[in-house]
Amino acid sequence: MNFDELMEINPLSINIVKKVDHKDYYVCIDAGSTQTRSMAFSEDDIVNRAKIGILKTDTATSIVKRVPATIRPKKQIRENLECEVELNDKKYHFVKETMRNYLSAQGTVMVSNTSKVDQELLYQSVLFQTALNLYLRDIQAGSYADCYNVNLYLSLPPEDFISERIDKITNILTGMAKVTFPRLKRTMNICINDVQLYSEPEAAACRYINRNSVNDDTIIFLDCGGRSKGSLIVKNGTIIQDAIMTDFGGGELMLGEIATAVAENNNITIPSIDTIRQALKTGVLKIGNEDVSIIEEINDAKDTLSDGCVECISKLLDTSNTKIEEVQRVVCTGRTFLETYDENGKVISPSMVTNVSKHYENSPVKITFEFNSEDSPVVKGLYSYAVTSMMEG
């Protein structure tokens, strides 16, 4: 069973009785501002070429003191995601996904004006995602452990790669943590033995290089997340480490601009970001009983954000001492670059890659712009780094 199928299992039907002393795993986590993706695998998985699933959950968390007794256990794992994390001297009690809706609980999200490393939500997400991954793996294996030893591979924005922040996150996450899922009746002792950090664009670039022929091309990678844009440059198949950059203003900024424009154009209060995020998929927003097209607002916001992407590319070229004439490809990753489709599957708002490429239409230099539409390239890039480390090990 894949993870989506496992998440639909009724917790009451799970009866894992076989117990082992410990289990050893590599865990890779891309803790995005809106969605967290992760993989957990063992050395045996690699030796046996096992298919490894990717777990995806919303990053947003709702801190709660307790879950009322009136909220009865639900029929699927994904509907029972109440979690308690004990990390160092701190304890967190929160709910995720559907549980937030049951409680009508206001969520905590990643903010753009504070380093991820300085946001407690990052640590909650990492421990939650690690524990849920291992819990699902236990269901697959039919056994559980007293202790789970973990080598953690985590992606961060380039801005966080300064010594104080690296030391902070490493010190916080290394060591023992206890994670409890009260509604799943599981408590897990997790020992993180090692923390390896990679920038988000670096992991995405690693995945791309492993799957595509790059030859001696000079390639710019632009990863646009919810809160920021990360960029780097690859020359002759090698990532230039001294030129990995962060620029603020990602997908959340675009959603905010769409929401404001929709409110002004329709004389309504500003819709929530979550509402606009859903409407972005179809280009239609329901206002009262009317379905209203917001394609114009979407396209205008893409134009604005693409200006920031071009500025990001210019800064990267300056930092890496690279001329635009030397560049053959610009590869874009992240959900912000997704297209918008109507109900018939027709593209009604093209990828923002189109908006970015238009800035270079009159340039004498011919550059290929592409959207790497592969699902979860960052966490797959972390997986590549982890497997390489394991093999060299």
Cα–Cα distance between 123 and 23 in angstroms, integer?
22
Q: Who's near 31: CB < 8 A, 6+ residues apart? A: 59, 116, 122, 125, 126, 129, 154, 155
Given this model, what pLDDT does residue 1 score? 67
Q: Do domains 3-199+377-392 and 212-361 have the same CATH topology?
A: yes
Given this model, what pLDDT does residue 15 score? 87
Given this model, what pLDDT does residue 335 score? 84
Q: Who's near 72: CB < 8 A, 6+ residues apart? A: none
The CATH number of 3-199+377-392 is 3.30.420.40
CATH class of 212-361: alpha beta
Strands 143-156, 245-248: pairing is unpaired
Where are the domains positioned within the chain? 3-199+377-392, 212-361
Given this model, what pLDDT does residue 322 score? 92
Cα–Cα distance between 249 and 211 in angstroms, integer?
29
Cα–Cα distance between 316 and 310 in angstroms, integer?
10
Q: Are 7 and 77 in contact (CB under 8 A)?
A: yes
The secondary structure of residue 106, as a DSSP letter, is: P
Q: What is the mean pLDDT of each run of 10 residues along the chain (393 residues)?
A: 86 90 97 91 94 92 88 91 95 92 83 88 96 96 96 93 95 97 96 96 92 89 86 90 82 91 95 89 92 94 93 92 92 90 90 94 89 92 94 81
